Amino acid sequence: QVQVVESGGGLVQAGGSLRLSCTTSGLTFDRFTMGWFRQAPGKEREGVSGITKDGVNSYVADSVKGRFTISRDNFKNTLYLQMNSLKPEDTAIYYCAAGRSWYLPLKTAEFDYWGEGTQVTVSS
């Protein structure tokens, strides 16, 4: 059974930082493209950042470019999202997902396994 579990969310003031982590089990981590998505109330889920199986290539959405950094540790089966200079508009539930292909822009349909999400709230 595949499990995807996010952690690291919380409440932070604008300008602050958080690091999200995502661990997986039941799948061969280094065979999967990994991505971070977010969904704010009343909005569609959007792709924030993605990284290839080997970690060589990555993508970040324009809205977070220069502030968010994605990385992965294939030995620890863990994905990270370092979020700096957070803004109130970054408030959302953040989801980790695993997919079999690398396709840009990130699309939810390209990802097979999902976590339940972690809440990130940025106060002004």
Distance CA 47, CA 13 (A): 23
Whether 38 shows a pLDDT value over 90: the answer reads yes
Task: Give dist(CA 41, CA 107) in Å, integer.
Answer: 19
| Ramachandran bin of 28, using left for φ above 0, alpha for ψ from -120 to 50, beta for the remaining angles | beta
Sheet with 78-83, side-by-side order of all strands: 3-7, 18-25, 78-83, 68-73
pLDDT score for 105: 86
* pLDDT score at 103: 83
Give the residue-averaged pLDDT of 2-19. Answer: 98
What's the whole-number mean pLDDT along residues 37-57?
Answer: 96
| Residue 104: predicted pLDDT | 86
pLDDT at 51 over 90: yes
Is a pLDDT exceeding 90 seen at residue 16?
yes
Largest CA distance in the chain: 40
Q: Per-residue pLDDT tens for 86-115?
A: 999 999 999 999 999 888 889 999 999 999
